[in-house]
Amino acid sequence: MARFILDVNEEWGTTIILIEHDMGVVMDISDRVAVLDMGSKIAEGTPDEVRANPHVIKAYLGDGQGPHPHGGRRG
């Protein structure tokens, strides 16, 4: 799937909107990334910027302070 997305983007020069939970795929093939948490955008930028964003780290990796503020599991 990733190769197909890259090929379409390169051949047609079009923007692709990808909704994906496999962060390795997202970070490997994206020029820009927007991150949602419970339906709200919490970050946007290059993969490196998003990966280092404290809001993303807290939402997806936790802050070591107990359960996620919205409760429950993601998924």
Please say whether the beta carbons of 50 and 33 come within 8 A: yes
Query: How far lies 68's CA from each of 3, 15, 48, 59, in Å?
Result: 34, 33, 23, 7
**Is residue 7 in a domain?**
no
**Is residue 6 in a domain?**
no
Say what the pLDDT of residue 7 is: 87
Stated pTM of the model: 0.70
Q: Can you give the pLDDT of all 75 residues of the chain as single tens digits?
A: 888 888 888 899 888 888 988 888 999 999 999 999 999 999 999 999 999 999 999 998 777 665 555 554 454
Query: How far lies 58's CA from each of 22, 32, 33, 43, in Å?
Result: 18, 20, 17, 12
Say what the pLDDT of residue 54 is: 95
Domain with 46 in it: 19-75
Say what the pLDDT of residue 43 is: 96
The SS3 assignment for 26 reads helix
Say what the pLDDT of residue 65 is: 66
**Is residue 74 in a domain?**
yes
**Is residue 12 in a domain?**
no
Residues 6 or more apart in contact with residue 38 via CB below 8 angstroms: 70
